[in-house]
Amino acid sequence: MAKQDVNIGTEGNDGTGDSIRESFRKVNENFQEIYAVFGQGGQISFTTLGDTPATIEAGKIITTDASGTAIIYSEIGSNSDLDALQPDSITADVISVPGKIILSTTFSALVDDNIKPTLGGHLSAANFGIAGVAISESAATQLNSQPGRTSSYTIDDLVITKGYADRRYITSGLPVRVAAEPASTAQYTLTITNYIDGNLFISGHGYDSGANGTGFIFNAEDTDPAALTSGVEYFIRYVTGDQFALYATAEYAATESALEAAANKISVTGTIASGDVHTIVDSGYDQTLSGNFLSDVAMPRTSITRRQGDTMTGTL
């Protein structure tokens, strides 16, 4: 209760002040508070104090305001109080057990966090298997599109399975298989549609990151774009299924460092005029050689003659 002042009026006996009864009521209540403070009987109600809330609210805890000058009621909050789009990670129960505040996590496993599950540190599988991973551009896109994420992962950043590796890399203990001769040399020439974000746009080029560092000769029938010169060899780096970035050296194109790759990328700008054709041709293609193999690839047994006794059927 705040201190109650006795109204003594404007002037003596002018009838504007408190009555004698009202005056002594205020005096009594003021003394009652003083006696309560010193433990001499009486009581002070919490809600009558000058710096406290006027009513008692259920399920709240007492704290101070931001300036530390008043007492206020507060509730235990969670993630959604900061961002309405985020799920709450804890709940608070102040009713079920009198005198207790029960805090509970709303999920105890990553599978329950279906919005943006993220590890807080290095992960040990503790001798358990990890399976069922997705390895595709669409999986990387879905990862990047989770609410709250600002990542730009590609398929190159995803973990792979044993089967994926076995299908794409040389397996220990098995013979190296070499592809048969291509039916033509057309696949060695890629036509550039336009230039996007400094990259070459070649719709469905068919390569993946395993081609990083491969050399290609650039050619423009009419006008070279900015930063490229016809007849010069450049080295590709996979960006998407439709885009390559170009580099001056194979080392920069194949680097594992995204920062190094970004710092050394040749940013190509310009437009391709109607009637002009821009292409890149695999540097391993040598049109003076017979057949459709590149000059720098291994050939299968059926395409070579052994000096141990095979019979030649063509010209030497």
| CA angle (180 as vertex; 214, 186 as ends), nearest 5 | 55
Q: Which residues are bridge partners to 234 per DSSP?
A: 216
Mean pLDDT value of segment 197-209: 95
Q: What is the pLDDT of residues 56-106, one digit of tens each?
A: 877 778 888 888 888 888 888 888 888 888 878 888 888 888 888 888 887
For residue 124, give the DSSP letter: -
Q: Residue 86 — left, alpha, or beta (φ > 0 → left; ψ -120 to 50 → alpha)? A: beta
Owner of token pair 């996590």: 105
What DSSP line would sit under 82-121, residue for residue? H-TTSPPSEEEESSSSTT--EEEES-SSGGG--S----SS
The pLDDT score that the predictor gives to residue 176 is 79
> Under the phi-then-psi rule, with left for phi > 0, alpha for psi from -120 to 50, and beta for the rest, what region is 39?
left
- Reported as a pLDDT band with limits 50, 70 and 90, residue 35 is confident
Per-residue pLDDT at 109 exceeds 70 = no
Look up residue 164 and give its amino acid. Y
Q: How far apart are CA 149 and CA 156, in angstroms?
A: 18
pLDDT tens sequence across 209-225 = 889 999 999 999 999 99
Per-residue confidence (pLDDT) for residue 232, from 0 to 100: 98
Highest mean pLDDT among 41-50, 85-94, 129-138: 129-138
**235/48: higher pLDDT:** 235
pLDDT of residue 64: 85
Q: How confident is the model at residue 40 (pLDDT cuts 50, 70, 90)?
A: low
Lowest-confidence pick of 24-33, 48-57, 87-96, 197-206: 48-57
Whether pLDDT at 110 is above 70: no
